[in-house]
Amino acid sequence: MHIHFKGTRGSIPTAPNASEVSEKVVSALLGARGKDLRSESQIREFVTKVLPFHQGSTFGGNTPCVRVDTGSNDWLIFDGGSGLRVLGNEIMANGLSNQTFHLFMSHFHYDHIQGIPFFTPAYIPGNKIIVHGGHDEMETFLREQMRTPYFPIDFSTFQAEISFVKHAPGDTLEVCDSTITVYKQNHPGDSYGYRVDQGEKSVVYSTDSEHPNIAHGKEYDYLDFIKGTNLLIFDAPYTHSESISTREHWGHSSNVMGVELAARGEVDTLAIFHHDPGASDQDLTDFHAHTKKFLDRSRLAVREAKPGIPGAPSPRSHPFEVIMSYDGLVLTI
C-alpha cells in the first residue's frame, strides 16, 4: 500500500508568511557557504540531503486528508480537510473521470470537512462519492457548511453522485480490495478511527482522539485496534505536559502517549499527525527530536528495570521508528 499525506495540520490551515520564507532562503544560503555548488544537481542534492528538512522544505499547512492507495481502481480517502483540494486538483490534472471515491470521515469539525466544497471531482458528472462515517446526520452536516451565508454555492451544485453510509463501532467492511475496521474515539462530539488491512499489511488512521487514563491499563481496546499495524497515523499535537494541563479535554493526544500506545500495540512506524497550527517548521523538528529521545529512553528504561526476570516487561522493540508526517509525504508499507 502507498499512503499519501495530503494534509497533516490540525485545527486550521496554515501558511508560512513572507519573513518565514525569507528566513529559509537566508539559512539555506548561509549553509551553502564554502560548498561546491556549481551544477543544478549539486544544488538539488544539497537542498534535499544536506540542509535540515525545516530549512530546505516545510511540513505544510493543509488540514487532514490522507489517501491510501491499495492498488484498487477506486479511491480510498480519509477526511476532507483542505488537503482534499490538492488531491482533487491532481485527479483533474490527470484527466480522470467516472471515478469512485470512498471518503471516510473521522468527524465533522471544520478542519476535516473544509476541503470538500473545493474537491473539484465532486462537481463532475459520472463520478461517485460514497461518504462513510459513524455519525448520524452526515449528509446534513456537509450540506450545512455550504449553506448561505457560509458558502457561495449550495451542496446541490455537486454533479457527482453522492451517497452516505453509516457504520457502527467495530464494523468491518470490504472496500478498495481491503478490509476496513471502524473504531470509536474519545473526542468532543465523537470521532472514528479506521484500520485498513490488505493481506499482511495494515495502516491505522487515528486522528482527533484523546486517550483517557484507562489507556494506561491492560484492558484498553484501542490496543487491539492498532495491534501489529505497519503504520499508525496518530493525532499528537501536544507534549505530555500540555496534554494533562492546559489542553486536557481538547480531544487530542501527546507524542508520549503515541509512543506508549505504539510500543504496547507493537506498531512498526508511528507517524505523528494533526500538527499544532501554531507550530513552526523548527518547532515541529524539535518536537520530533524530543519524541525520538523519549522513545530511545523508554526502550532503555524497560531494559534496565528488569533484565531477564520472568514475567517482566521485555525490552521494547516497537515502534521501530517515529516520523513526522508532512503534506506531500508518500510512504510505502
Binding site for Zn ion (CB under 5 A): 10, 109, 111, 208
Q: Minimum distance between the CB of residue 110 and Zn ion, rounded to whole angstroms? A: 8
Q: Minimum distance between the CB of residue 124 and Zn ion, rounded to whole angstroms? A: 28
Q: Minimum distance between the CB of residue 169 and Zn ion, rounded to whole angstroms? A: 17
Cβ proximity of 267 and 228 under 8 Å: yes
Q: Minimum distance between the CB of residue 187 and Zn ion, rounded to whole angstroms? A: 6
CB nearer Zn ion, residue 111 or residue 327? 111
Q: Minimum distance between the CB of residue 112 and Zn ion, rounded to whole angstroms? A: 6
Q: Minimum distance between the CB of residue 193 and Zn ion, rounded to whole angstroms? A: 12
Number of residues that this document lists for the chain: 333
- CA dist 211 and 238 (Å) reads 12
Separation in Å, CA 247 to CA 7, 241, 251, 289? 23, 9, 8, 22
Cβ proximity of 225 and 193 under 8 Å: yes
CB nearer Zn ion, residue 67 or residue 109? 109
Only one residue has cell 462530539, namely: 189
Cβ proximity of 99 and 122 under 8 Å: no
- CA dist 318 and 262 (Å) reads 7
List Cβ<8 Å contacts ≥24 apart for 38-46.
none
Q: Minimum distance between the CB of residue 63 and Zn ion, rounded to whole angstroms? A: 7
CB nearer Zn ion, residue 12 or residue 37? 12
CB nearer Zn ion, residue 69 or residue 144? 144
Only one residue has cell 453509516, namely: 166
CB nearer Zn ion, residue 109 or residue 288? 109
CB nearer Zn ion, residue 105 or residue 322? 105
Q: At what angle do helices 255-264 and 281-305 cross, to 10 degrees?
A: 40
CB nearer Zn ion, residue 7 or residue 56? 7
Q: Minimum distance between the CB of residue 306 and Zn ion, rounded to whole angstroms? A: 39
CB nearer Zn ion, residue 1 or residue 138? 138
